[in-house]
Amino acid sequence: MRTGCRIAALALVGWYLLLPPTSKDFPMGNVDAPLTQWVKRPTLYRDQKECEHVHDQQTRLANGRNRQTRKRYYQQGKCVSSDDPRLKPK
């Protein structure tokens, strides 16, 4: 029974694409802000590879539209496991 609980818990782990928070002082995003303040994209990805693929697509899409500011913002994004302790509020 305990093994089944562990498998169920592992199945709930996914990956978030996070983007740094913006503000008047950091219009391109504050990459030094704690991850609890970063903006989570609404999708929970199955694994890191899928998350990084979407991150790459978003960055290339911004570049393809010749939006260099948006491209730089997306380049700062990162994929983080949903069970990463840095996402838990203190």
Query: What does the pLDDT look like over 9-57, one tens digit per residue?
Result: 455 789 999 999 999 999 889 999 999 999 999 999 999 999 999 999 9
Rounded-to-integer distance, Cα 58 and Cα 1, Å: 42
pLDDT for residue 1 is more than 60? no
- 31 occurs within a structural domain: yes
pTM: 0.78
Residue 55 lies in a domain: yes
In a domain, 9, yes or no: no
CB neighbourhood size of 59 (10 A): 18
Q: Count CB atoms within 10 A of the CB of residue 46.
A: 10
Residue 68 — very low, low, confident or very high, per pLDDT cuts 50/70/90? Answer: confident
Q: How many domains does the chain have?
A: 1
Quick one: average pLDDT of 70-82? 91
Give the structural domain span for 27. Answer: 14-84
Residue 1 lies in a domain: no
Q: Is there a domain that residue 2 lies in?
A: no
pLDDT at residue 60 in the model: 85
The per-residue pLDDT for 66 is: 62
d(CA 16, CA 50): 10
E strands in the chain: 15-19, 39-40, 78-81
Residue 40 domain flag: yes
